[in-house]
Structure 1
């Protein structure tokens, strides 16, 4: 395939995508697709970027982070200690101690500790 043919195939695909979006039930989406379809460079990428501006901006999570004490209490309640949790996560005990003591730790770590298996209810082979 020549480069020109590749460009033409891509253009046709983009126009097909835009044709489908022109009849979208949300008027603002259909209007964007129509505008882009008849613009200088009709592309699905341009439509995606324009649609991103229509989407609501994600809000910050409303749940507060766990305090260091709550973080430690949560994994201990599930039968873990800092050493075996650090080993499970492939980290060292110093890292675990630092993370557990930080009030501004990454939110995913709070989520991770909340999702730990409960060793008090599990067999010892975890």
Structure 2
């Protein structure tokens, strides 16, 4: 049986949305995430999501709407919507961007520790 998706809105089916969220939590690596998203989304949808994350990153760093739009190719409507979400109560973009920043910090520290073999780069004994 097929469904008429023309009347679906952002609320969609709560059970389906919950299952999608649970599925996303099961992904453990960037490679697994790419495989899942490539199966789940069209190439255009994948680009749209990646673009929105980049818009959020640039806005969070203080770049102007015009600069973000010209840098990413996102419409002013998309930039405005992402900005509103960044300032909103849900905090999804903020949470993910903070965790991405933390992951980068950990990777940089791990690289520095590998550089001297002891994690004591720059220290003299």
Q: TM-score, normalised by structure 1?
A: 0.24
Q: Higher RCO, 1 or 2 (CA under 8 Å, sep at least 6)?
A: 1
Which structure has more helix as a fraction of its residues?
Answer: 2
